[in-house]
């Protein structure tokens, strides 16, 4: 074990995967000698050479198309999109190509050895284009896996699993935790399972569900609620597609209440999918309406970032409203 921040943990995962798989390539804008604008790929070019870790021209659709081509020919491809806000030029390559490669060819071809890594989320005064959480655009696309870690330990284990998974994965990294989240991380190789939520804390009055950087927020809100005698069960969804219905449903059947928190706007957000499914699975167990604490249905604002965010106070209020329904 060593103390690492999330960037160091990601870097360690990439290093281990590249050592183990000589075909693996890491590429994107500024990921080469410079090591990435957040330094996640720091030192990889020095360790593995310019042919395996390199800069691409500044074109997201090109990066994604190139990645599809590599993976279709059996090369492991880890592509970086500098900010999730800039993944949209690559949307066609990801949604129409990566996601459908195996299905449309009858498994003659696949791009299973492909991961798109991208920093996402607000809280860094990033305004419209350095704050977005576009995960719900991708969860609507069969064929993709969507993964979001909450801390350094999770980031390394989930990234290693994503790289080795036989399906294309969009891996969202909560950038406000890159350096803020520091913890004990095994130095060696380990994986955390995809498609499996994690029960972070047991409780009996309400289930709180989130992912990524918002896990901190719901944990803080839970502490506030506990002081008022409300016992919260906390789940980190970790994989949004395919998501772990059973773990969430089991918890809600026990607590009778569910609150889902995400930074992305409310309308069309992934919380809607979870709420509808849990309502179907747990109809007879629910004691209050499922609560969604999310971003507003606005572009991500700069000066009103604090007001926009589904923070711990908003979550705390929603917990009380649910319990007192």
Partner 1 sequence: MSNASTNQETVHKVSFLDRESLHIPILKILQADGTPYEEAVLPQIDEALAKRIYDACVFTRVLDERMLGAQRQGRISFYMTCTGEEAAILGSAAALDDKDVILAQYREHAALRYRGFTTEQFMNQMFSNEKDLGKGRQMPIHYGTAALHYQTISSPLGTQIPQATGVGYSLKMKGERNVAICYFGEGAASEGDFHAGMNMAAVLKSPVIFFCRNNGYAISTPTEEQFAGNGIASRGVGYGMHTIRVDGNDMLAVLAATQQARAYALEHNAPVLIEAMTYRLGAHSTSDDPSGYRSKEEEAKWREHDPVKRFKLWLINKGWLAEADDEAMYERYREEVLAAVKVAEKIPAPRIDEIIEDVYDEPTPLLKKQLESLKAHVKKYPQAYPKTAGRL
How far is 214 from 121, CA to CA, in rounded Å?
9
Q: Does 199 bind partner 1 (CB under 8 A)?
A: no
3-state secondary structure of 166: coil
Of 80, 97, 130, 153, the catalytic one is 130
For residues 33 and 220, which CB has a smaller minimum distance to partner 1 in the complex? 33
- Give the active site residue among 60, 80, 135, 216: 60
Size of interface with partner 1, in residues (CB under 8 A): 49
Q: How far is the CB of 115 from partner 1 (least distance, A)?
A: 14
In the bound state with partner 1, the residue whose beta carbon lies nearer, of 104 and 128, is 104
For 48-56, the CB contacts below 8 A with 24+ separation are 48/18, 52/18, 52/24, 52/25, 52/26, 53/18, 53/25, 53/26, 53/27, 54/25, 54/26, 54/27, 55/27, 55/28, 55/29, 55/30, 55/31, 56/27, 56/28, 56/29
Among 9, 36, 102, 207, which residue interacts with partner 1 (rule: CB under 8 A)?
102
Asked if 92 touches partner 1 (CB under 8 A), the answer is: yes
Chain residues 36-55 in contact with partner 1, contact rule CB under 8 A: 51-52, 54
The C-alpha atoms of residue 62 and residue 16 are separated, in whole angstroms, by: 26
Angle formed by the axes of helices 245-255 and 270-281, to 10°? Answer: 60
- 60 is a catalytic site residue: yes
303 preceded by a cis bond (ω within 30 of 0): no
Q: How far is the CB of 201 from partner 1 (least distance, A)?
A: 25
239 binds partner 1 (CB under 8 A): no
The pairing of beta strand 145-147 with beta strand 239-241: antiparallel
Least Å distance, CB 256 to partner 1, is 24
Q: Footprint of partner 1 on residues 56-75 (CB under 8 A)? A: 56-57, 59, 61-62, 64-75
Q: Which of residues 241-300 bind partner 1 (CB under 8 A)?
A: 242, 245-246
Q: Which of residues 2, 19, 46, 103 is near partner 1 by CB under 8 A?
A: 103
Q: Which residue has the tokens 């980031």?
A: 155
CB 235 → partner 1: shortest distance, Å? 17
Minimum distance from CB of 318 to partner 1 (Å)? 27
Q: Which residues contact 224 (CB under 8 A, 6 or more apart)?
A: 312, 316
DSSP assignment, residue 88?
G
The span from the CA of 268 to the CA of 44, in Å, is: 38
Q: Mind telling me the catalytic residues? A: 60, 130
The residues binding partner 1 (CB under 8 A) are 23, 25, 51-52, 54, 56-57, 59, 61-62, 64-75, 77, 89, 92-93, 96-97, 100-110, 112, 142-143, 145, 166-167, 195, 242, 245-246
């Amino acid at each position: 074990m060593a103390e690492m921040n999330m960037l160091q943990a990601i870097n360690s995962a990439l290093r281990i995967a590249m050592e183990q798989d000589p075909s693996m390539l890491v590429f994107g804008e500024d990921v080469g000698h410079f090591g990435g604008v957040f330094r996640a790929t720091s030192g990889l070019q020095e360790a593995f050479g310019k042919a395996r870790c390199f800069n691409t021209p500044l074109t997201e659709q090109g990066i994604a198309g190139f990645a599809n081509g590599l993976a279709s020919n059996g090369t492991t491809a880890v592509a970086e999109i500098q900010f999730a806000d800039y993944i949209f030029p690559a949307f066609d390559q990801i949604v129409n190509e990566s996601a459908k490669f195996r299905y449309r060819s009858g498994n003659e071809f696949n791009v299973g050895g492909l991961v798109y890594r991208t920093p996402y989320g607000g809280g860094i005064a990033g305004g419209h284009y350095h704050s977005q959480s576009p995960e719900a655009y991708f969860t609507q696309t069969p064929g993709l896996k969507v993964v979001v870690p909450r801390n350094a330990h999770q980031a390394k284990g989930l990234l290693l699993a994503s790289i080795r998974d036989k399906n294309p994965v969009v891996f969202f990294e909560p950038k406000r935790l890159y350096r803020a989240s520091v913890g004990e991380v095994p130095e060696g190789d380990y994986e955390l399972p995809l498609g499996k939520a994690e029960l972070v804390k047991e409780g009996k009055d309400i289930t709180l569900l989130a992912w990524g950087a918002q896990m901190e927020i719901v944990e803080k809100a839970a502490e506030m609620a506990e002081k008022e005698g409300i016992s919260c069960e906390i789940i980190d969804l970790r994989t949004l597609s395919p998501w772990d219905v059973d773990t969430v449903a089991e918890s809600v059947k026990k607590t009778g209440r569910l609150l889902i928190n995400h930074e992305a706007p409310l309308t069309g957000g992934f919380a809607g999918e979870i709420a509808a499914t849990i309502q179907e699975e747990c109809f007879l167990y629910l004691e209050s309406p499922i609560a969604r604490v999310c971003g507003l249905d606005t572009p991500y604002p700069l000066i009103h970032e604090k007001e926009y965010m589904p923070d711990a106070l908003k979550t705390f209020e929603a917990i009380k409203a649910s319990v007192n329904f």
